[in-house]
Amino acid sequence: MSQKDRRIVKFLSRGEWRVCALGGVLSLLSASCSTTTGDNTPAPGQPDGSGGSGGATGEGDPTRLIGAFQVRSSPAAPSQEGAPEATGTTAVLGKIYDGTTPSQIIWELAAEEGSCRLLKPRVPFCDQPCGGSAVCVEDDTCQAYPGAHSAGDVTVLGLNLESGEASFVMKPTANNYQPPAGVKLGYPPADEGQTVRLEASGDFFSAFTVESKGVSPMQLLNDTIRLEPDQDVQLTWAPPGQAGISEVHVKLDISHHGGTKGMIECSAEDTGSLDLPASLVTQLLDLGVAGFPTIIVTRRAVGATTISHGRIDLVISSQIEQSVVIAGLTSCNDTSQCPEGQTCQPDLTCQ
């Protein structure tokens, strides 16, 4: 990848691809979905690729994301007293398309402060239905879904395997990449700073290599995360052992069970703390809430390579999802969980 290409990827990687077309790789890989804001700039979230990158293998456009491989891990929930200590989980997924994947929702910038943005959803309307092979991406504008294809066998090196072996091979199954049966990943999947390398042998897509770095498991230090109007939300987490490898992304969505009305997304240096601005928190609360609101905090490193069709990312991440507390909100799955005189609503709140 040329120095110019690296600068382009670094700019674009500040975008967070969170809302994805159903059935696409980008719905499987949270770091690989397209989001459009009202000023045509990406929403925040993607680190700058400092975790490592493979060399370019074609004259493709590094701004055109066509696929991603993700090594996603989550720490185990605290064990109950007397229960055996649980270990974290890891998943490896990958898919590559012959074009960019369109989104059914456009996330428009409503407000911005520091490293955080408040985004509101807008669903385009097409008078003529787009059909099952396309999606409405702007009013009366349909875009076809791209096709998934094979890049041949993909050899994975640098992940921790329970067998102690140094590598394994993923073969495309319906053009999806996952570890074969019998391969058990250790936790964490890679030591902090450890190079993880993927080598694709080539098929419909040309052969390529891409690298990223292992990250330390995310450890959120907040016992309770409470949202109140006109109050910052102070997040703290255990800082990494090595600086410059990872970035932290935060997604706060408190209405997803009732039809998302907005969300706060932040991208921050992995220093161990971040304040979500009170102004954005207040505006998000004003948009409305639904049951079981959560915040997702993700530490990740991203590498990228470019082939003739476009850019392919390798994302190594550790993610925690934690409930948030909002005054006056009682979440429920049924009415038995509600205070006397209230019933459980379709948005999973007691009213």
For 81-120, what is each residue's pLDDT tens digit?
655 667 899 999 999 999 999 998 999 999 999 999 999 9
The encoded tokens of residue 62 equal 């590094």
The encoded tokens of residue 218 equal 């995310």
Please report which residue ranges of the chain form alpha helices under DSSP H.
Answer: 3-12, 25-28, 278-287
162 φ/ψ angles, rounded to the nearest 5 degrees: -60, -30
DSSP assignment of 32-74: S-----TTS-PPB----STT--PPP-SS--TTSEEEEEEEEEE
The encoded tokens of residue 132 equal 């099952």
In the numeric block, the tokens 């007293």 are attached to 81
For 23-37, what is each residue's pLDDT tens digit?
333 334 333 333 333
Average pLDDT score over the chain? 85
In the numeric block, the tokens 């804001």 are attached to 37
Question: From start to end of 97-245, where are the E strands?
Answer: 106-113, 116-122, 134-138, 141-144, 154-157, 167-170, 195-200, 208-213, 226-227, 233-236
Q: What is the pLDDT of residue 80?
A: 57
Choose among 285, 304, 291: nearest CA to 337: 291
Q: What is the pLDDT of residue 1?
A: 43
Residue 282 contacts residue 256 (beta carbons within 8 Å)? no
Q: What is the pLDDT of residue 146?
A: 97
**Where in the chain are the domains?**
3-329
Q: What is the pLDDT of residue 78?
A: 66
What span, in angstroms and rounded, lies between the C-alpha atoms of 214 and 219?
15
Under DSSP, is residue 172 helix (H, G, I), strand (E, B) or coil?
Answer: coil
What is the pTM (predicted TM-score) of this model?
0.82
Identify any residues that bridge with 55 across adjacent strands, giving them in sequence order.
Answer: none
Q: Along the chain (351 residues), what's the average pLDDT of each consecutive run of 10 residues?
A: 38 33 37 34 32 52 96 81 73 97 94 97 94 94 97 98 95 97 94 97 97 96 95 96 95 89 96 97 96 97 97 97 95 96 96 92
Per-residue CA distances from 90 to 85, 142, 341 (Å)? 17, 36, 43
Q: What is the pLDDT of residue 31?
A: 36
Q: What is the pLDDT of residue 55?
A: 43
What span, in angstroms and rounded, lies between the C-alpha atoms of 271 and 189?
22
Q: What is the pLDDT of residue 82?
A: 59
Q: What is the pLDDT of residue 258?
A: 76
Strands 134-138 and 154-157: unpaired
